[in-house]
Amino acid sequence: MNRSELVEIFQRTMHACKTEPALICTIGASVKAQRVIFAEEEVPVPEPKRSEPCALILSKDRTLAAAKKYANGKRKVAVLNFASFVTPGGGVTWGARAQEESLCRVSTLYPCLTDDSAASFYSEHKRKIDECLVDRMNNDDCIFTPGVCVLREDTFDGPFLQDRERYAVDVITCAAPDLREPQQLFTVPDEAEFRAQMAKRIRRVLAIAAANGADVLILGAFGCGAFMNPPKVVAKAFEDALAPFRKHFETIEFAVYAPVEDSDNYRAFAEIGGIRKWEELPTPADTASLAERLSALEDKLCAYRHAMGVLMQDGETVAPEGSAEGRGHTMGVLSGMEYALIADPATLQLANDILAVAPQNETVLRRKAELLKKEAEQISRIPENEYTAYVTLTNNASAVWKKAKTTNDYALFASYLEQIVAFNRKFAGYYAPDKAPYDALLNEYEEGMDTATLDAFFAELRATLVPLIRKVARCPQPDDAFLRKSYPIEKQRAFSDAVMELMGIDRNFCTIGETEHPFTNNFTNRDVRITTHYYEHAPESSMFSVIHEGGHAIYELDIDDAYNHTLLSGGVSMAVHESQSRFYENIIGRSRAFTQVLFEKFAGIFPEQTAGVTAEDFYRAVNRVEPSLIRVEADEVTYALHVMVRYEIEKQLIAGTLQVKDVPARWNALYKEYLGVDVPDDAHGCLQDTHWSGGSIGYFPSYALGSAYGAQMLAVMERDLGDVYEKVGKGDLSDVRAWLTEHIHKYGCLKKPGELFEQACGKFDPKYYTEYLKRKVADVYGIETE
């Protein structure tokens, strides 16, 4: 188009701005909020709004054509105006064709720039020109104009948009260095100095956009047209300036208009690190190929984790005592390979692409992408050397912990715990820098959990449990002397097999091993491994650890086959997982109905030890309420107090208000305060659990939460099934397992933990748990508990 035609289009736009009431109001609002920001004025930059760096996009669109893609009313869009610093709108009034003129020709920007509120920007620069003071290189002055209405398509002859199609953008007006003048009038700096000066100006533009809440920012080849700025240097300057601002925006798009005959600018900006070309972005049609790429990545990732899991299982169960170093080396190598796979920028990009284009009804694919995105974001923040060092540390710490516990030597383990706490404190900042460190760690085990919620939860438990325990202390205790007799270990192993059979655990897919601290490991729903330990004079320890770990195993065994070797395999959170183990261990395992069946098996294997003992005696003995030292052997009522001790210590360790060397003393004091017991040594105190040696700080509250979740599940199950215990008393757990599979197990990680629980049981209410415990105590001790 010729200049006269462009002037005519501009004039029609200005006529609309002067005659349409809606546009008159829009312009009035813009100029009222518009302000000149001179270079010496500081622009406070707010905290980043996002946890991940924004997308960097390169397109061949004009500035406002690019902006239109995001102007859906939900995102705030800002654009950079490559301005003349002496004339509002540049040459728009005489038909010039550059970027600023295009903006003014199709929007309400020109009336704003010619308003008195912007006059000081231009008058100051004209004064400096007149006085030969103007610095064409270091002019960082800007105008911020909010709510500019785009009323025409951004083309040379763009038609007017319908009212419903019009959209608003914020405009940041800034002039690039102007290299057109003869060099005798000013000195053009060398490339490095020019790049630094341009980066400084760009940072100012970014700061203004961030300070005014932009979600999307449209930039471009700033000054690379009429002002003759070198595109490669300008592109590098943008790259230099972007890093501190990447988390302030959702998207930054470089709209670099590139006719075929002039693509140097486009090629230069394509070299910016991490930028993606618009035409190469995925579309919904690419969903299937993205899913294939994700599946291939999952195969590798799950293979590495399977191998490391088998090594860990071996080290905890049957490996020679001195084998930790070699195993740690191998796990360090494997963890490095796992790290490289997840931290690869292409992995996060894959997750983001799936979430951007996959249809909402692709729930499985989108959930996988959500989990991958979270993991990739977190792990990419952790330096690789720290990640692999931590894996090696926890492998070695586990071996040292076992020796320390066996020899009652806390000092042996303390240096390892110091390193683990330091790593976790640092990792918490990587995981969620916007959260308190311990809250960030809690979220790794139960998404959405924080100390405020747990403090309230434990306070409610304490208010119920402490008086309940005191009331029980005044009652005659059930006789459990028969459980202190000698129970040969070989026969206890046989009884464990019987218990697993009674629970309906298919031994083709689940083994049982022995370890210092029982745990369950899962690789697929066809390879689950539980462990236990045996004490000759305490058969109930192994009995209920097998039922507890068996509950974990059943959860894993009943996850949908489709999730094997994917990110959806395994339980969704530790509290949900512990709800299953604690449900089987206590709500089923210690019920009157089940203990009758269990006692029949037990008496069959140990007839001499149980001579004269009835099923009712057995029921009361295994439900004895008595403050004790060991968490895994604690009764249902006092159990949560054991968890509270660990919770308080973890909070203090991560906060730095408790030193590792002081943990034993603090542990002993809390046990005395909460449970009224004296801790004789560290083996029966702070060395009793394996969790800290494995780095699991933030895990312990899941046990208490899981117990409470399980009580609420029982209430809903009874609503759905009627008398749950009728079939349980006949040794038939099929209805219980079917309900749990249908509502919890089969989903694996498909749903978030809070969503999964609420869909199954409604909003979480700890009163289900406290009421359950009161009923249980009333039944066992024959007392009123209200």
The CA distance from 640 to 626, in Å, is 13
Q: Is the dihedral of CA 472, 478, 484, 487 positive or negative?
A: negative
The CA distance from 129 to 123, in Å, is 10
The CA distance from 274 to 419, in Å, is 35
For the question of residue 771 being annotated catalytic, the response is no
Q: How far is CA 307 from CA 151, 330, 552, 570, 717, in A?
A: 60, 10, 21, 16, 38
The CA distance from 213 to 146, in Å, is 11
Residue 175: half-sphere exposure toward Cβ, Cα within 13 Å: 24
265-302 burial, b if ≥16 CB within 10 A, otherwise e?
bbebbbebeebbeeeeebeeebbeebbeebeebbeebb
The CA distance from 281 to 159, in Å, is 28
What is the phi-psi region of residue 25: left when phi exceeds 0, alpha when psi lies from -120 to 50, beta otherwise?
alpha
- By CB neighbour count within 10 A (0-12 exposed, 13-18 middle, 19+ buried), where does 722 fall? exposed
Which residue in 549, 578, 585, 650 is the catalytic one? 549
Asked if residues 727 and 734 have their Cβ atoms less than 8 Å apart, the reply is yes
Write the CB contacts of 615 (distance below 8 Å, at least 6 apart in sequence): 595, 596, 599, 600
The CA distance from 571 to 744, in Å, is 9
- By CB neighbour count within 10 A (0-12 exposed, 13-18 middle, 19+ buried), where does 513 fall? middle
Question: Taking Cα atoms as reference points, which of 730, 731, 756 lies closest to residue 741?
Answer: 756
Q: How far is CA 604 from CA 44, 611, 621, 730, in A?
A: 77, 10, 18, 17
The three state secondary structure string of 665-689 is HHHHHHHHHHHCCCCCCHHHCCCCC
Catalytic machinery residues: 549
